[in-house]
Chain A
Amino acid sequence: GAVVSQHPSRVICKSGTSVKIECRSLDFQATTMFWYRQFPKQSLMLMATSNEGSKATYEQGVEKDKFLINHASLTLSTLTVTSAHPEDSSFYICSAREAVTDTQYFGPGTRLTVL
């Protein structure tokens, strides 16, 4: 199946700093990627839809100035958590939509810990 990678797999940062997470589709092109947040023992919460070459669409309640999303190419989307605070600590997961099968393939996730 199609492969999606995320980097880094885990990151620890100090409060107030910004962190960038990369999501790549390795063997297919993805015009649409999605960013999710997963809390412990809970489901995935969709944060935003990232479309190549255009602005991301954010879900209600998600601060677009806090979570900056860039989808500059058909294989790469980035999520930047700006001025991170401890409450931003979470597991962030991306997915990429493979158009031929209309299936979302998920990355392995990034564990963010803000001290």
Chain B
Amino acid sequence: GNSVTQMEGPVTLSEEAFLTINCTYTATGYPSLFWYVQYPGEGLQLLLKATKADDKGSNKGFEATYRKETTSFHLEKGSVQVSDSAVYFCALSVTGGGNKLTFGTGTQLKVEL
């Protein structure tokens, strides 16, 4: 079946630090990969996505590269801000899977001054 594994949190960083949140996946077929962010008290928002191998998704300074050889989609940001504090979810969907998303367990990020 399909599954997503992401690093456990919480992750606590100082402002302007480099961020990496690891995400690996198992899927039948060729999945599309997503990162969603959930700010406190809000719903999930799509942060970025990649639909095929070697694609790089990017948004708001975050980026992730679809690595088929390592089945990974790690999220990175060069310099985090306090406003980036949120829960980040890695997810996948497979073609022919009815557009269903399979989520990882989420990683809480806390950025401090």
Contact = CB atoms under 8 A, between A and B. Distances in A.
Interface of A: 1, 4, 6, 32, 34, 41-44, 46, 49, 57, 93, 95, 97, 102-109
B95 to A, nearest CB: 10
Contacts, number: 48
Interface residues of B, number: 17
B103 A44 contact: yes
Interface residues of A: mostly helix, strand, loop or mixed? strand
Interface in B18-39: 36
A103 B46 contact: yes
A6 B41 CA distance: 13
Nearest to B10: A41
B45 interface: yes
B99 A43 contact: no
A11 to B, nearest CB: 16
A46 B42 CA distance: 18
A41 B38 CA distance: 12
A6 B45 CA distance: 14
A77 to B, nearest CB: 14
Given A43-B106, A44-B89, A102 B44 contact: no
A58 B89 CA distance: 23
Given A4-B43, A42-B105, A93-B43, A106 B36 contact: yes
Contact of A93 (B44, B105, B106): B44
